A and B are shown apart, each in its own frame.
Chain A
Amino acid sequence: MIDQKDIFATIDMIEQQHLDIRTVTMGVSLLDCCDEDPEKACAKIYDKICRYAGKLVPTCEEIEAEFGIPIVNKRISVTPVALVAGASDTDDYVPFAKALDRAAAECGVDFIGGYSALVQKGMTKADEKLIRSIPRALAETKIVCSSVNVGSTKAGINMDAVALMGKIIKETAAGTKDGFGCAKLVVFCNAVEDNPFMAGAFHGPGEAEKVINVGVSGPGVVHHALQAVKGASFDEVAETVKKTAFRITRMGQLVAMEASRRLDTPFGIVDLSLAPTPAKGDSVARILEEMGLEVCGTHGTTAALALLNDAVKKGGVMASSSVGGLSGAFIPVSEDEGMIAAAKSGVLDIDKLEAMTCVCSVGLDMIAVPGDTSAETVSAIIADEAAIGMVNSKTTAVRIIPVPGKEVGDMIELGGLLGSAPVMPVHKESSADFVKRGGRIPAPIQSLKN
């Protein structure tokens, strides 16, 4: 029989250290739902999602009960809607968002992602219609998530789209209470097609008909493991994280294979992620502090995060037959108890967060800024973050909330996994003339190979 200690170690991880499967996400292609008549297209979308994902939630619940591991979220990702809605003879794309919302509610999932456009090199008419509809779509739906890819290492950064997204984020904030809509909107550079995490999940055009992607969690488990190697060298810290990430990911792989088999849907990827929650003991910031930093955000934080991110990947990659998605440590401010505390204390600021995004998964995530932050400043923040992604050949993203009527030091409550966020200061100096230029920032040379 398996060692008793190992059995109780697993149970402790689940019950004391918040180990869970953060999400099982079913990707569904909507490419065959195109129709000149928008009403017919919406009906096809609704029917197809319900047909494919109707059993997703009960199946996940069965797996949770049998394996004793919580699956916190069940989600659906779909083909970027701009690719589907483009075929329809309409200027109003909001009904497409509503069809997604209805289908997701019918399936009982937590979120549906894919109200998206990929505009890294240029915008089609459909892309622009979709982007301009985002504020209304997010205000009039409950669980639809939206994302826009504005740059890539191969294409450069579409600064026209960046400028537009600054305005769209401001409008979205204005149209929803406390700017909540912005929590469901991500602006990407180098977006991935198989991301299971929200708000940025979409089912890329290069993906299969349907697929199961799984995102694991486990900052609490890593933190607990590091408490046992207090004062040890970084070699030992890295080894400890690797071993822990291996265990966490193996569990993710097991659940992914089981869900794939039961739902008769191909297994896609496991996302090797350390996704925090606002609960105490489930924080990425606290892991960095465990490495010897007084407060997350002080000098040394970027190095600590670089080690953590790399060790998570090294440990996880051997544990799964197929790794993908965003894979790395997440640093969403509002969703991480330690990050919230560090931001509140003023030690962690946007500039430090930006530096941290150079070495970890994703980017400036779930950050509340004052309501009077201009659209141009939001665009400039997006441009900085996209540049980091473009030059470093990695995914970066911005999910920022310019909270109407709030000032630095105020707190906003987003609820549930989205947590709460202190409103953080941004630079006051204008970037308007920079953003106004438009055009494209050319793709960088990656190497002079000859």
Chain B
Amino acid sequence: MNAVITVVGRDKVGIIARVSTLLYERNINILDLSQTIMQGNFTMVMLVDVSNSTCSFAETSDALTKLGHDMELTIRIQREEIFDAMHTI
């Protein structure tokens, strides 16, 4: 099962490092990653595979939200299907 992680906020040192560490600790594989500056904001989109994750989707989501709070960023994780459904026929 794939999910999309989005990170939005002010650029700073260690965003990718801390998000990927959190994923590594839960055995979540990063499939694709892109980052850019959109309207002055740092934005990062990660496609991850959560099939072999050592914890539940909800726990990962909570951990990412908490990390976002600590780093003053907005971090979300959502199942990939919602984006597919809305933007592809």
Contacts and interface: CB of A to CB of B under 8 A. Distances in A.
Interface in A28-65: 62, 65
Contact of B86 (A4, A65, A66, A247): A247
Contacts of A1: 31-32, 34, 45, 47
B78 to A, nearest CB: 4
B45 to A, nearest CB: 5
B58 A253 contact: no
Contacts of A429: none
A415 interface: no
Interface in B30-62: 31-32, 34, 36, 38, 43, 45, 47, 57-58, 61
B82 interface: yes
Given A11-B6, A11-B76, A6 B87 contact: yes
Interface in A296-346: none
Contacts of B31: 1
Nearest to B80: A2
B73 to A, nearest CB: 14
A4 B79 contact: no
B4 A66 contact: no
Interface in A54-92: 62, 65-69
Given A11-B76, A66-B79, A6 B86 contact: yes
Contact of A4 (B34, B57, B76, B88): B34
Nearest to A68: B78
B83 interface: yes
B85 to A, nearest CB: 4
A62 B6 CA distance: 19
Interface size class of B (residues with CB under 8 A): 20 to 34
A7 interface: yes
Interface size class of A (residues with CB under 8 A): 20 to 34
Nearest to B78: A68
A7 B6 contact: yes
A320 B85 CA distance: 11
B86 A251 contact: yes
B30 to A, nearest CB: 11
Contacts of A2: 4, 47, 80, 83-84, 87-88
Given A7-B6, A11-B6, A68-B76, A254 B87 contact: no
Contacts of B88: 2
B81 interface: yes
A394 interface: no
Interface string B6-23: 100000000000000000
Contact of B78 (A6, A67, A247, A253): A67
Contact of B82 (A4, A62, A251): A251
27 contacts: A1-B45, A1-B47, A2-B87, A4-B34, A4-B43, A7-B4, A7-B6, A7-B45, A8-B38, A8-B43, A10-B86, A11-B6, A11-B76, A62-B58, A65-B57, A65-B58, A66-B78, A66-B79, A67-B78, A67-B79, A67-B81, A67-B82, A68-B76, A68-B78, A250-B85, A254-B82, A254-B85
Given A62-B58, A66-B61, A250-B85, 6 more contacts: A2-B47, A2-B87, A2-B88, A6-B86, A10-B86, A65-B61
